[in-house]
Structure 1
Amino acid sequence: MTPPLHSIISRLHLKQLRLVVALGEHGSLLKASQQVALTQPGASKSLQEIETTFGTPLFIRTNRGLEPNAVGHCVIRYARLIQTDLAHLRDELVGILRGQGGRVSAGVIMGAVPLLTDAISALVARQPELSVEIVEDTSATLLAQLDAGRLDLAICRTSIPQAPQVYESVKLQDETLAVIANIGHPLRRAKKLTLQQLAPYRWVVYRANMPMRLLLEAEFRDCGIRFPQHLLETTSAFATLALLQANPSFVALVSIEVAQFFAHQQMSCILPLALSSRSEPYELVTRKGAQVSPAAKLLFDELMHRRS
Structure 2
Amino acid sequence: MPTLPSLEQMTARLRLKQLHLLSALADHGSLLKAAEKVSLTQPGASKALQEIEAIFGVPLFARSSRGLVATEMGHCAIRYARLMQTDLAHLRGEMEDILQGQGGRLNVGVIMGAVPLLTEEITRLLAQYPDVAVEIVEDTSARLLHLLDRGRLDVAICRRSVSAQPQLYDSIDIHHETLAVVSSIDHPMAGRSHLELADLDASRWVVYSANMPMRRLLEREFHEAGLRFPHRLFETTSAFATLALLRRQPDIVALLALDVAEFFASMGVMRILPLALKSRSEPYQLVTRRGAVLSRAAQLFMQSFRDDPEPSPGRSTGPGPSVL
Q: Which runs of 5+ in 1 are unaligned?
A: none
Match of 2:177 among 169, 175, 178: 175
Q: Measure the CA separation in 1 of the matches of 2:158 and 2:124.
A: 21
- Cα distance in 1 for residues equivalent to 2:150 and 2:306: 24
Q: Give the letter aligned to residue 59 of structure 1.
A: F
Q: Which residue of 2 aligns with 1:239?
A: 241
From 7, 25, 29, the equivalent of 1:5 is 7
Structure 2: distance between partners of 1:186 and 1:301: 46
The CA deviation at 1:93 is 1.1
- Of the candidates 49, 52, 56, which is equivalent to residue 50 of structure 1? 52
> Could you tell me whether the CA contact under 8 Å between 1:18 and 1:36 is conserved in 2?
yes
Q: Distance in 1 between matches of 2:303 and 2:129?
A: 13
Aligned amino acid, residue 67 of structure 1 = V
Count of residues in Structure 1 that have an aligned counterpart in Structure 2: 308
Instruction: From 160, 163, 166, give the equivalent of 1:164.
Output: 166
The letter for the 1-side match of 2:207 is V
Aligned: 1:269 with 2:274: no
TM-score, length of structure 1 as denominator length: 0.97
- 1:94-138 CA deviation, whole Å, 9 max, x = no partner? 221122221011111111111111111221232222111111111
Counterpart of 1:72 in structure 2: which amino acid? G
- AA paired with 2:231? Q
Pairwise CA distance, 1:162: 1.4
**Structure-2 separation of matches of 1:77 and 1:177:** 39
1:86 pairs with 2:88: yes
Q: Within 2, Cα distance between the matches of 1:305 and 1:243?
A: 39
In the other structure, the counterpart of 1:101 is 103
The residue identity in structure 2 corresponding to 1:291 is: V
> Equivalent residue for 1:193?
195
The letter of the residue matching 1:99 is G
**8 Å contact from structure 1 (residues 116, 303) kept in 2:** no
- Taking the aligned partners of 2:269 and 2:97, their CA distance within structure 1 comes to 38
Sequence identity percentage: 59
Deviates further, 240-249 or 208-217 = 240-249
CA–CA distance in structure 1, aligned partners of residues 26 and 130 of structure 2: 36
Report the AA paired with residue 126 of structure 1.
Answer: Q
Cα distance in 2 for partners of 1:201, 1:114 equals 28
Correspondence for 1:292: 294
Cα distance, 1:214 vs. partner? 0.6
Shift of 1:265: 2.1
> Which region of structure 1 is more displaced relative to structure 2, 182-191 or 149-158?
182-191
- Which residue is 2:319 aligned to? none
Which of 98-107 and 148-157 deviates more? 98-107
Matched, 1:210 2:209: no
The alignment partner of 2:109 has SS state of strand
**Unpaired segments ≥5 residues, structure 2:** 316-324
The secondary structure found in structure 1 opposite 2:162 is coil
In structure 1, what is the Cα distance between the partners aligned to 2:186 and 2:85?
Answer: 47
For 1:84 and 1:246, the matched residues in 2 are separated by 39
* Contact 1:172 1:304 (8 Å CA) reproduced: no
- Return the TM-score normalized by structure 2: 0.92
Aligned partners of 2:294, 2:15: CA distance in 1, in Å?
28
Give me the whole-angstrom Cα distance separating, in 2, the residues matched to 1:301 and 1:269: 35
* Matched position secondary structure for 1:180: strand
RMSD in angstroms over aligned alpha carbons?
1.2
Aligned-pair distance for 1:44?
Answer: 0.6
Q: Following the alignment from structure 1 to structure 2, what is the Cα–Cα distance between the partners of residues 245 and 295?
A: 39
1:299 and 1:77 map into 2 onto residues whose CA distance is: 31
Amino acid at match of 1:238: F
